[in-house]
Amino acid sequence: MRHLYLTILAAAFLMTSSLSSCKQKNKADDKILTEKEQSLGQKDIIPRSDKQTTTNTISNELSFLNTFDKKYPYEIKLLDKPVIKRRLEEMLGPQYAFVKSIWEVETPIAITNGIFYAWGMKAHSGGDPGAVLMADLNKNVLYVGIRKNKDEKFYSEDGSMVPQKMQEWADEQ
């Protein structure tokens, strides 16, 4: 009887230990699978830690502006378009709110040779304060000119020279 009891006890021990090792192996396999799933998922996430990465990742993000020729900026809510708003806020900082606050009277949008042009000013101001928004749609670059108290400041998203038409706007006023 004692022999039977020891055999049952040994069999139970062997079954328990084999089940335990299977569970540990499955946990290890699950851990490896989880790590592989995570690494695959991380490849799909594009880091956007700097402006250059963002610009390079999104190809010709401004091309949608081509469809707005001859429309008024208020019709399309130009300054509130997420792409435009985000990029203007990055480029202008607190001046973005100023541009929005004075953009009351405007001209229709004009697109010539891949250059987008929109102009707005404070009502009854004679153009001071006023602002012009331009975009080189081929280069995917925004430019802004702001007139305030007879002083013009120009902003270029990539640091390049502003288009000639923006300088002409400044000279006309």
Q: Which of 7-16, 55-64, 81-90, 94-103 is predicted least confidently?
A: 7-16
Flag whether pLDDT at 11 surpasses 50. yes
Please state the rounded mean pLDDT for residues 87-106.
96
Does residue 57 have a pLDDT over 50?
no
| 117, 69 contact by CB (below 8 A) | no
Give the pTM: 0.64
Contact by Cβ (8 Å): 133, 81:
no
Is 27 or 88 the better-scoring residue by pLDDT? Answer: 88
DSSP 80: G
Q: What is the pLDDT, as a whole number, of residue 172?
A: 75
Q: 142 pLDDT exceeds 70?
A: yes
Share of the chain above pLDDT 70, in %: 65
Domain ranges within the chain, ordered by starting residue: 1-45, 61-172
State the Cα angle at 25 between 22 and 28, rounded to 5°. 155
